[in-house]
Amino acid sequence: MLDVHLLLGNVAENESDTNTANGRPATRAEARSRLARMLCSDVTDVDAGELSKIARFLAQTQAAQLQNAIARVLKGIPNSCEFLIVSGEGEPILRQITATLAALRGVPVLSITRTLGLRHSEAACAYALARLSRERATAGL
């Protein structure tokens, strides 16, 4: 999905980021090439407009899946959500998605990136799982 969001301009290019499917940089040009390969094609075989359409479709599909997952979680909460914590590379996308959910309108959002910085934000999920594991181990669960 990095390539999708690179093509859509949701994520900034990063020449030094080679943590991609083919080990090449996280740039729009390379993202087009990787997306074309997913279609068993070369970037010269697929129109840039078509790749953009495919990227939009994939981003919309991802957003719908996330909206549905968040809605299921919200149904399991007995009271209204008091605040929302967002973190990691997907934080901007998550903010866009949650803004469309009526149940989250007006709910304060805590950004781990803004509060603690990107490095800590990217590790927030791992930290949360480690903390939950420790709490459960301590409680004997």
Cα angle, residue 14 at apex, residues 9 and 15 outer, rounded to 5°: 130
For residues 57, 19, 113 and 35, what is the CA-based torsion angle, rounded to 10 degrees?
-10
- Residues paired with 84 in a beta bridge: 109
Do residues 59 and 97 share a domain? no
Q: What is the mean pLDDT of residues 86-108?
A: 86
Both tokens assigned to 32: 């087009």
Could you tell me if 18 and 26 are in contact, meaning their C-beta atoms sit under 8 angstroms apart?
yes
pLDDT tens-digit map of 103-128:
888 899 899 999 988 888 888 888 88
DSSP state at residue 14: B
pLDDT tens-digit map of 27-49:
999 999 999 999 999 999 999 99
Among 76, 97, 121, residue at a domain's last position:
76
Compute the mean pLDDT over every residue in the chain, rounded to the nearest whole number. 90
Do residues 94 and 59 share a domain? no
User: Structural domain tally of the chain?
Assistant: 2
Residue 88: domain span: 78-141
Say what the pTM is.
Answer: 0.80
- Residues paired with 110 in a beta bridge: 85
Do residues 35 and 94 share a domain? no
Dihedral sign (CA 94, 100, 102, 106):
positive
